[in-house]
Copies of this chain bind each other. A is one copy, B any other.
Amino acid sequence: MNRLLAPTPPMGWNSWDCYGASVNEEQLLANADYMAKYLKEYGWEYIVCDIQWSEPAADSFDYHKFAPLCMDEYSRLIPAPERFPSSAGGKGFKPIADYIHSLGLKFGIHIMRGIPRQAVHSGAKIKCDGVSARDIAQTFSVCSWNTDMYGVDPRAHGAKEYYESIFELYASWGVDYIKCDDIANTEFRPDKPYSAKEEIELLRGALERCGRPMVLSLSPGPAPVEEHEHLAANAELWRMTGDFWDSWDKLHDMFSRCFAWQEYVQPGAWPDCDMLPIGRLAVCGKTSWNKARYTNFTHDEQITMLTLWSIFRSPLMIGAEMRDNDEFTLSLLTNRELIDMLKNSHGARQLRRNEADGKGEIVWISKGKDCKFAALFNTDDKTREISFDITDVALGGGKYKVWDMWAHKEFAVTDGEFTAETAPHGARLFRITRD
């Protein structure tokens, strides 16, 4: 596998948190424009169109069950022109990809594993002589939360060809990033936990042969830790949890997941903390369970999230409708020091975790070039003085400079321990160098 596809954690924007299943061309392009103007210089580059872009009537976070999808003659889903006008006439996502490329950015799309149920039931052909969609569908393999697809039987003649045909199409559009869904979790499924393993291999094989480099992202989580080798061999990123949203419980839970995966972070293979639900969310409305709002996270919680995601080296995907970003939100995304750590550090690990009833202190450390990073997290609901002993990351016998990476100023010069006041649910992030 070509590790160069994602030598550092992918950074970008994904349409799900703000537009659910309903994102359209205008929204995609406007957010691309925003990224090019305000964020690109910091390293942000992917614009990812999430689920159900082939459903003409999608309008919220809910799926219209059994809704007709736009599909080509080979049982391949194509963008709905009602939502993506430039795709009309069989052009697919190429015009959008071209535009995004013209901004110096990259373009990603969401897919579901499998083949459209509508192709199967209508007896549609696939791009493999004499084989129809029916022939390759795994009859009992269905997603528990979406009706679009049947799984593909990896042993069926035509299975490989079908997956190759869709990657051929995506390559022709100029796609740079594939987020494949319903494929990586360990929860209950009729066809056994992580049983889509063989479909993951089919996907990877097709991707490798399609002639265009694309990053492969697997969802949803929790992906099983014990499959870390298989995941790293077949994908650039994969989710460690179910969908992440703006609640403290989910954020607090991510510390445990990062700890469980800390040994398995490596260039080209990134365990993924999921999108950043910051700024304006759930713009599309209409959905009972997901109201339009500015993020429920406090400023301190957002700093905690960005700090953890970055020191752990998770991919960063912005969930906001970026045009509505306030100054604070933008500041989170343009912290050069943070992004430098994300891109260039390694060996992150939890140094200690002292909590009672889920409240207390967690400390992570990491290594950079000629420096160490220390992230102090306060999971308590009151301010805490969190101390850090420099000799945990350095040799003593001299002075060390402690730089505050969120305040962007020197915090201390010391030869031993220092203490930092940390807000409730907040974090402090320091770079430590020799004086």
Q: List residues of chain A with CB under 8 Å of any chain B CB.
A: 65-66, 68, 117-118, 120-123, 134, 137, 139-140, 142-147, 188-190, 347, 367, 369-372, 391-398, 400, 432-434
Contact = CB atoms under 8 A, between A and B. Distances in A.
Nearest to A415: B370
A394 B392 contact: no
A434 B142 contact: no
Given A118-B121, A121-B118, A65 B137 contact: yes
B372 A66 contact: no
A139 B134 contact: no
Contact of A395 (B137, B139, B393): B393
Contact of A372 (B117, B120, B140, B395): B395
8 contacts: A66-B139, A140-B145, A144-B190, A367-B391, A370-B395, A371-B396, A395-B432, A395-B434
B391 A395 contact: no
A137 B142 CA distance: 14
A142 B144 CA distance: 11
Which one of A394, A395, A397 has the highest number of Cβ atoms from chain B below 10 Å of its Cβ? A395
A370 B396 contact: yes
A121 to B, nearest CB: 4
B147 A66 contact: no
A402 to B, nearest CB: 12
A134 B395 contact: no
A171 to B, nearest CB: 29
A275 B68 CA distance: 42
A89 to B, nearest CB: 26
A366 to B, nearest CB: 11
A86 B65 CA distance: 37
B121 A66 contact: yes
Q: Which 6 A-B pairs have the closest CB atoms?
A: A370-B397, A121-B121, A66-B134, A370-B396, A190-B190, A394-B395
A398 B65 contact: no
A398 B434 contact: yes
A367 to B, nearest CB: 6
A393 B394 CA distance: 6
